[in-house]
């Protein structure tokens, strides 16, 4: 499974930059926690450098990501400058980046930048920088500067929960594209199954489990004809995942194959008998 290491810049005694009533270490955490929440619906392994306002040394995060064998090191920051007119979003990869980091920036950057531009800020471009987080990480790595905390308009955007959600959704969209992430099935608990026994019919199975026939047909899209079930068929009593439905369909095909083999065996024996009588 793809492993993503997410680092909310600064934290604890490292405040980062500040302005317009915002502190960088809190805003980076807000974005990373939203990102982790949205990504929790996908089949992906996550490790967060921090989930609260604690001090995590940069070198420790880099070591942790390297030892873990992350596929991507994603670092979230907010820019700040003594001239409050500076504004906009940019992303950074290492000065002599590996091909994978270039791919990551090429896909993530335009998606995130588009959200900033849409809300009246600007795209400052894809940058290359000699930051420790980019230089010393062994995997693809990217560092995001989500606007200028020292700029009034950028800061107003960062204060809006809806903007953070939109920015995060764009980031997730990029990660899904980068790694082909799949959404987790709605039901992660295995569905309850009943195996069809000789003499069963769907109505009897429904009654046995205090359900109606339509309850059962709704839960079992693989049973195309409710009046026809095979011994050994799987009947779901609770909602199945797509994978479980696939499994039930395959199971039925196997049962039908087995039936055909048995039919052919009987036919073969009959032909044998006939031919023996014929030849003798």
H/E stretch holding 145 reads strand 140-148
- The DSSP output letter for 94 is -
Output 91 or 220, the one with its CB closest to Zn ion: 91
Closest contact distance (angstroms) between CB of 9 and Zn ion is 4
Output 16 or 97, the one with its CB closest to Zn ion: 16
**Known catalytic residue at 57:** no
Closest contact distance (angstroms) between CB of 75 and Zn ion is 8
| Residue 13, SS3 per DSSP | coil
- The DSSP output letter for 186 is S
Closest contact distance (angstroms) between CB of 7 and Zn ion is 10
Helix 152-159 and helix 161-179, axial crossing angle in degrees, nearest 10: 80
Q: Which two tokens stand for residue 62?
A: 């880099």
- The DSSP output letter for 93 is E
C-alpha span between 84 and 91 (Å, rounded): 20
H/E stretch holding 19 reads strand 18-19
Work out the number of other CB atoms within 10 angstroms of the CB of residue 251: 17
Q: Which two tokens stand for residue 220?
A: 């079992």
Closest CB to Zn ion: residue number:
77
Task: Provide the β-strand partners of residue 144.
Answer: 76, 91
Closest contact distance (angstroms) between CB of 24 and Zn ion is 5
Q: Which of 145, 262, 265, 270 is catalytic?
A: 145
Q: Which residues bind Zn ion (CB under 5 A)?
A: 9, 16, 77
Output 25 or 252, the one with its CB closest to Zn ion: 25
Closest contact distance (angstroms) between CB of 10 and Zn ion is 6
Work out the number of other CB atoms within 10 angstroms of the CB of residue 54: 12
Output 92 or 252, the one with its CB closest to Zn ion: 92
Task: Provide the β-strand partners of residue 92.
Answer: 127, 143
Phi, psi values for residue 6, rounded to 5°: -110, 125
The residues annotated as belonging to the active site are: 145
């Amino acid at each position: 499974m793809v492993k993503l290491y997410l680092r909310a810049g600064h934290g604890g005694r490292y405040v980062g930059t500040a302005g317009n009533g915002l502190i960088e270490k809190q805003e980076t955490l807000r974005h990373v926690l939203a990102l982790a929440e949205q990504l929790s619906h996908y089949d992906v392994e996550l490790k967060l450098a921090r989930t609260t306002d604690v001090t995590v040394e940069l070198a420790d995060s880099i070591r942790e990501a390297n030892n873990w064998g992350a596929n991507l090191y994603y670092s979230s920051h907010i820019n700040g400058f003594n001239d409050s007119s500076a504004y906009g979003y940019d992303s950074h990869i290492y000065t002599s980046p590996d091909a994978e980091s270039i791919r990551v920036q090429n896909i993530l950057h335009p998606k995130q930048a588009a959200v900033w531009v849409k809300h009246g800020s600007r795209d400052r471009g894809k940058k290359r920088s000699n930051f420790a987080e980019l230089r010393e990480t062994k995997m693809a790595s990217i560092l995001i500067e989500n606007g200028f905390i020292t700029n009034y308009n950028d800061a107003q955007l960062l204060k809006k929960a809806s903007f953070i959600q939109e920015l995060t959704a764009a980031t997730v969209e990029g990660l899904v594209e980068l790694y082909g992430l799949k959404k987790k099935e709605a039901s992660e608990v295995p569905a309850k199954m009943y195996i069809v026994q000789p003499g069963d019919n769907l109505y009897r199975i429904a009654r046995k489990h205090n359900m109606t026939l339509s309850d059962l047909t709704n839960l079992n899209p693989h049973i195309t004809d409710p009046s026809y079930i095979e011994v050994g068929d799987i009947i779901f009593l609770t909602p199945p995942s797509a994978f479980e439905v696939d499994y039930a369909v395959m199971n039925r095909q196997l049962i039908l194959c087995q039936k055909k083999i048995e039919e052919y065996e009987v036919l073969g024996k009959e032909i044998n008998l006939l031919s023996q009588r014929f030849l003798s």
